[in-house]
Amino acid sequence: MSVDQDLPIESDHPIASADQAQRLDALGQLVGRFAHDFNNLLATIVLNLTLIEKRCTDPTALWFAGSALRAAERGTSLAQRLLAFAGKQTITLAPTDLEQLVSGMHPLLSRTVGPQVELGLRAAEDLWPVSSDADQIEFALIELACNARDAMPQGGDLMVEMANARLRAPTADLAAGDYVALSIEDTGGGLSELAQARAFEPFFTTRRDPAHLGLGLSVVHGIAKQHGGTVRVMRSSGGGCRVELYLPRASEAEISALRAGEAAAPGARHLSKGIVLVVDDDPDLRAIVRDGLEGLGCDVLLADGGVTALEILAVHRVDLLMVDVKMEGMDGLELIRRARAVRPRLKALVMTGGSEVPELAAGATATLRKPFRIDDLAQEIAGLLSSGARPSQ
């Protein structure tokens, strides 16, 4: 589909009826809360294991720690899939060259579909940049490739296409505007009408393999929704299945901001010592974060909630506020707002196990997604306490 061919006003195969959409939304809310709490538990586990790896010299203990960390990372992957299905995963949108991204994935996609599947890539000329989280689009593309591979157990052809698409009037699942359509078309047996109607329901699958959870297309649907796009499934002209993922075109303002940021990007940053106030209502996470920060050379103050944190801020110098979003009583974003009323230049690092993105007007605020490793923490701290940064007043 090129820009000269407008998108159809309505999809031939709507994602869900109104009742189905309501049920999916309710299930998404439940799944999102579960994944958020699961990530909070994994955060303490992963931080402890990474510290063991850094400080332990016993090879047997290191093997056990590494094995446990790999299991925790599989749990993290599951939590991210659940958040993606619920449309509650943290994403960072930036102008993305989709053709370059997909071309760079060609070796990975080839290994994913296997030697029996012939993989082709095709992109329209003058393809628009999209506003996307590149990691999430890669994840969605791999999910779609796996689905296509499983639909062709004896082998076949898989074509990945990219084309500009313009929607002049809104539809039930897409706002009017410019999009890039990322399509995957296979030569498998296709989907029945029932399967097309239920394709995006979580845990629905046509496979008999009990290990297959049936989350692939529902995850892709969640990713598409978070990007402001949609995904559609249909029978291809050759009888197989075609899945189209629509991503919004990046605006000129986004492209200009990216170029300005790249031009102004500083060189290598050096971590400077600073005073960090860690606020979390989980005592285990507070303790392990303190241990990690002290290992990075920071002085650390601890608070179990917003009220205690404000009392500490009233009497102590603090260079960085590190706060969890979800806490009993005063939540993390409310704490930051109150703290900035007194110290407008206070930097804040927000920890989140879900999709909460802080909407803060000023300051060098960053978001750290749970679970995170010590190296992830060090990178964020280095950015916020870099040399030349002014301390808060």
pLDDT (tens place) for every residue of the chain, 393 residues total: 344 445 554 444 444 445 555 655 666 666 666 666 777 777 778 878 887 877 788 888 888 888 887 787 777 666 666 666 555 566 778 899 999 999 999 988 998 899 999 999 999 999 999 999 888 898 889 888 988 888 888 899 999 999 999 998 888 888 999 999 999 999 987 766 655 655 666 655 555 554 444 456 777 888 888 889 998 888 887 778 899 999 999 998 888 877 765 555 444 344 456 889 999 888 888 888 888 888 888 889 999 988 999 999 988 889 889 988 878 888 888 888 888 888 888 888 888 766 555 444 333 367 787 777 777 888 888 878 764 444 443
Helix axes 106-113, 134-150, angle to 10 degrees: 30
Q: Quick one: pLDDT at residue 93? A: 83
1-265: CATH number: 3.30.565.10
Cα pseudo-dihedral 43, 49, 51, 52, rounded to 10: 160
Q: Quick one: pLDDT at residue 130? A: 94
* CA nearest neighbour of 185 among 153, 216, 152: 152
Radius of gyration in angstroms for the set of CA atoms belonging to the chain, rounded to a whole number: 23
3-state helix/strand/coil string of 135-184 = HHHHHHHHHHHHHHHHCCCCCEEEEEEEEEEEECCCCCCCCCEEEEEEEE
Q: Quick one: pLDDT at residue 301? A: 92
Rounded Cα distance between 115 and 128, Å, is 31
| C-alpha dihedral sign at 154, 214, 371, 247 | positive
Rounded Cα distance between 81 and 89, Å, is 9
Encoded tokens for 199? 């394709």
Q: In whole angstroms, what separates CA 126 from the centre of its chain?
A: 28
CATH topology of domain 275-384: Rossmann fold (3.40.50)
The helix (H) or strand (E) run that includes residue 27 is: helix 18-55
Dump pLDDT digits (tens) for 192-215. 665 565 566 665 555 555 444 445
Question: Residue 260 — φ and ψ, nearest 5°?
Answer: -65, -40
Q: Quick one: pLDDT at residue 11? A: 43
**For the chain, what are the domain ranges?**
1-265, 275-384
Please say whether the beta carbons of 143 and 179 come within 8 A.
no
